[in-house]
């Protein structure tokens, strides 16, 4: 056993997954002291847990839980069982992941419900756990478990206890402890902002997780790191996915990474099949979506099966659209292999296909179950595609994070060269910015609109060129320059900031002009833009770095004049 196996073993997971009995057995086998945090809370407070909830409220219980965790996580070589909700709070996760190897005990809702009923029959005098009380315990279990699952997925190891004896589960915990302890990594904090605070984006890089997206409908982790493809099967199991897996990729990405992903998934116990579409934006069509439907029908796909989107933004949008509509929704896992996908399109649940008259006019909001971004896959990208992706990172810096902008300015050459440490840091930070915004506004009814900075003109350019000339990031870079110039002409933005944006785009080899495009074609596409409301285009503009403004009163002559500048049109 490696050095990591000297660490504590900390069990997390939903109620009735077996944490107490399994923890006691693990402690017995290893000759270690066993600690149950719920028992410690009862001992120190002098009250049973239901009484704490009833008299003092859940918030007081969580305070006691945090205090107990702080104490037990400082100990050495103990086995700890924690309450089902302990791992949800980020502060608790930090304590637990730093204090030992965290093993999640997993079970299906039906298994948990049966164990709950059996426990009630065998111990009728014992009160039911407060969070499981109510008229429909099974439904409550399903709801709570669905919410908690993405947080449990951040554990170092998962053991499914449905069909295991206590002894078998204990053996699996010890195996996970041996494995998880050897690969454990410290949390890598974000650089401080000028005021000493971290970015407002959620960031929790335990075992590669950059952030957690939590919306009204879903909650899921985003993993960012080097070499994470090898963790895909385990992470999917941790997220509760158990059916067959159908990989949707394209004919350029799949030959590079498809065999490896299939092998990783098969080693995790999944049956796997795959489908590759032609590379490029033209595949985001209804015809291609129908070909995916036909493939899924042929394989008799069921609702318990999952779709893995392996590729760039096109594959993510297309596979996500198919997942959102086939059988009224299949579990979706995003595995972006492009920079645009890692920091933007794979996060937030926007899926869709193009219409000849406009980009992404047909689509839905459909959140994935998890996102895994293996930065090493970027080394296989053609340089043009890699450069294109930096436009979205620069966009996030311009609209939200002055510190990220400075980091991009200072480390541009290392980032273009994909130096591992700084690239991981920057991509994780950019992804976390996107995650925070979409967590606040899932359906783009408020703050999420600011993510469209530069996209109004960009989508017009793409539509006017029939999606065959410009990469998405190239169009966004030009669109950002257009939005900055409009901001300047309206008196919102200084010339210095406009120049700074132009300079950073240039450092990443992104052009801010384009020739031989029909102005009328772009203007026509703007009228069909998704951000149009009340027949007015809603422009995302800048007042300063990190300060956005939404305007729907931009004069048409200003828009047309700026577009002509971008297209290098002669004016008379």
- Segment 402-415 mean pLDDT: 95
Spatial separation of the C-alpha atoms in residues 368 and 309, rounded to whole Å: 10
Catalytic choice (252, 436, 472, 538) = 472
Spatial separation of the C-alpha atoms in residues 369 and 377, rounded to whole Å: 21
Q: Looking at 191-195, 269-273, 519-523, which range is the least confident one?
A: 191-195
- All structural domains of the chain with their residue ranges: 3-183, 206-434, 453-566
8 Å CB contact between 50 and 5: no
Known active-site residue 93: no
Catalytic choice (160, 284, 459, 531) = 459
User: Which residues make Cβ contacts (< 8 Å) with residue 20, sequence separation at least 6?
Assistant: 36, 81
Catalytic choice (452, 474, 485, 530) = 452
> Rg of the Cα trace of the chain?
25
Torsional class of 547: left (φ above 0), alpha (ψ -120 to 50), beta (otherwise): beta
Say if residue 503's pLDDT is above 70.
Answer: yes
Binning pLDDT at 50, 70 and 90, where does residue 572 land? Answer: very low
Q: Looking at 14-23, 31-40, 459-468, 500-509, which range is the least confident one?
A: 459-468
* CATH of the domain spanning 453-566, picked from 2.60.40.10, 1.10.357.10, 1.20.1090.10, 2.40.10.10: 1.20.1090.10
Binning pLDDT at 50, 70 and 90, where does residue 199 land? Answer: very low
Please report, rounded to a whole number, the percentage of residues in the chain having pLDDT higher than 90: 61
In terms of Cα–Cα distance, which of 347, 376, 521 is closest to 438? Answer: 347
| DSSP state letter for 245 | E
At 219 the three-state DSSP class reads strand
Known active-site residue 92: no
358-365 and 350-355 strand pairing = antiparallel
Spatial separation of the C-alpha atoms in residues 161 and 147, rounded to whole Å: 20
Known active-site residue 403: no
Chain centroid to CA 309: how far? 13
Tell me the three-class secondary structure of 444-510, residue by residue: CCCHHHHHHCCHHHHHHHHHHCCCCCCCHHHHHHHHHHHHHHHHHHCCCCCHHHHHHHHHHHHHCCC
128-162 pLDDT, tens digit per residue, is: 554 455 667 787 788 778 778 888 888 888 999 99
Equal fold, 3-183 vs 206-434: yes
CATH, range 206-434: 3.40.50.1970
- Segment 263-282 mean pLDDT: 95
Catalytic choice (392, 425, 462, 474) = 392
Catalytic choice (252, 350, 436, 531) = 350
Which of the residue ranges 147-151, 172-176, 200-204 has the most confident prediction, judged by mean pLDDT? Answer: 172-176
Catalytic choice (121, 186, 300, 328) = 328
8 Å CB contact between 73 and 10: yes
- Segment 291-313 mean pLDDT: 96
In terms of Cα–Cα distance, which of 324, 365, 325 is closest to 345? Answer: 365
219-261 pLDDT, tens digit per residue, is: 888 999 999 999 999 999 888 888 899 999 999 999 999 999 9
CATH architecture for the domain at 3-183: 3-Layer(aba) Sandwich (3.40)
Known active-site residue 160: no
User: Which residues make Cβ contacts (< 8 Å) with residue 520, sequence separation at least 6?
Assistant: none
- Segment 111-134 mean pLDDT: 70
8 Å CB contact between 335 and 365: no
Known active-site residue 452: yes
- Average pLDDT of the chain is 87
Known active-site residue 434: yes
* Angle of the 420-440 helix axis to the 383-400 helix axis, nearest 10: 50
In terms of Cα–Cα distance, which of 283, 410, 430, 402 is closest to 352? Answer: 283
Catalytic choice (25, 218, 444, 474) = 444
Say if residue 187's pLDDT is above 60.
Answer: no
Binning pLDDT at 50, 70 and 90, where does residue 559 land? Answer: very high
Catalytic choice (184, 396, 448, 531) = 448
- Segment 213-217 mean pLDDT: 77
Catalytic choice (148, 455, 530, 538) = 455
At 111 the three-state DSSP class reads helix
Chain centroid to CA 286: how far? 26
Known active-site residue 139: no
Spatial separation of the C-alpha atoms in residues 355 and 449, rounded to whole Å: 21
Known active-site residue 303: no
Say if residue 176's pLDDT is above 90.
Answer: no
């Amino acid at each position: 056993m490696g050095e990591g196996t000297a660490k504590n073993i900390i069990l997390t997971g939903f109620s009735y997954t077996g944490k107490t009995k399994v923890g006691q057995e693990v402690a017995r086998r290893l000759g270690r002291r066993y600690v149950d945090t719920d028992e410690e809370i009862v001992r120190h407070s002098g009250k049973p847990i239901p009484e704490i909830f009833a008299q003092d409220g859940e918030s007081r219980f969580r305070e006691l839980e945090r205090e107990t965790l702080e104490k037990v996580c400082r100990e050495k070589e103990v086995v700890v069982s924690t309450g089902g909700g302990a791992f949800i709070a980020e502060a608790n996760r930090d304590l637990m992941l730093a204090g030992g190897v965290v093993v999640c005990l997993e079970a299906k809702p039906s298994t948990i419900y049966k164990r709950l009923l059996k426990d009630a029959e065998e111990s009728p005098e014992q009160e039911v756990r407060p969070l499981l009380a109510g008229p429909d315990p099974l439904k409550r279990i399903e709801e709570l478990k669905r919410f908690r699952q993405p947080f449990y997925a951040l554990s170092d190891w998962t053991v499914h206890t449905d069909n295991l004896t206590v002894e078998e589960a204990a053996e699996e915990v010890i195996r996970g402890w041996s494995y998880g302890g050897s690969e454990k990594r410290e949390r890598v904090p974000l650089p401080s902002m000028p005021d000493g605070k971290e970015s407002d984006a959620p960031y929790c890089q335990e075992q590669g997780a950059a952030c957690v997206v939590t919306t009204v409908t879903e909650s899921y982790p985003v993993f960012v790191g080097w070499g994470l493809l090898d963790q895909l099967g385990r992470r999917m199991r941790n997220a509760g996915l158990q059916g067959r897996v159908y990989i949707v990729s394209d004919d350029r990405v799949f030959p590079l990474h498809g065999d490896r992903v299939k092998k990783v998934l098969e080693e995790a116990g999944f049956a796997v099949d795959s489908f590759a579409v032609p590379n490029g934006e033209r595949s985001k069509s209804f015809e291609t979506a129908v070909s995916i439907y036909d493939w899924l029908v042929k394989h008799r796909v069921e609702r318990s099966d999952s779709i893995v989107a392996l590729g760039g933004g096109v594959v993510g949008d297309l596979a996500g659209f198919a997942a959102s509509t086939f059988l009224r929704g299949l579990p979706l896992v995003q595995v972006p292999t492009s920079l645009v996908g890692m920091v933007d399109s794979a996060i937030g649940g926007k899926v869709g296909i193009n219409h000849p008259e406009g980009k992404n006019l047909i689509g839905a909001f459909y959140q994935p179950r998890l996102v895994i971004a293996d930065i090493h896959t970027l080394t296989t990208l053609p340089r043009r595609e890699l450069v294109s992706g930096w436009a979205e990172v620069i966009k996030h810096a311009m609209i939200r994070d002055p510190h990220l902008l400075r980091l991009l300015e200072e480390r541009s050459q290392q980032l273009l060269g994909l130096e591992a440490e700084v690239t991981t840091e920057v991509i994780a930070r950019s992804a976390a910015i996107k995650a925070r915004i979409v967590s606040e506004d899932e359906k783009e009814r408020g703050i999420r609109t600011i993510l469209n900075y530069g996209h109004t003109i960009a989508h017009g350019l793409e539509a006017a060129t029939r999606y065959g000339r410009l990469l998405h990031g190239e169009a966004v870079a030009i669109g950002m320059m257009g939005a900055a110039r409009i901001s300047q002409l309206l008196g919102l933005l200084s010339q210095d900031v406009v120049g700074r944006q132009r300079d950073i785009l240039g450092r990443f080899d992104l052009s801010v002009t384009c020739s031989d495009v029909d102005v009328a074609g772009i203007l026509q596409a703007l009228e069909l833009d998704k951000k149009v409301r009340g027949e007015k285009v809603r422009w995302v503009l800048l007042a300063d770095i990190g300060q956005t403004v939404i305007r729907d009163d931009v004069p048409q002559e200003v828009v047309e004049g700026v577009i002509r500048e971008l297209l290098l049109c002669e004016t008379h």
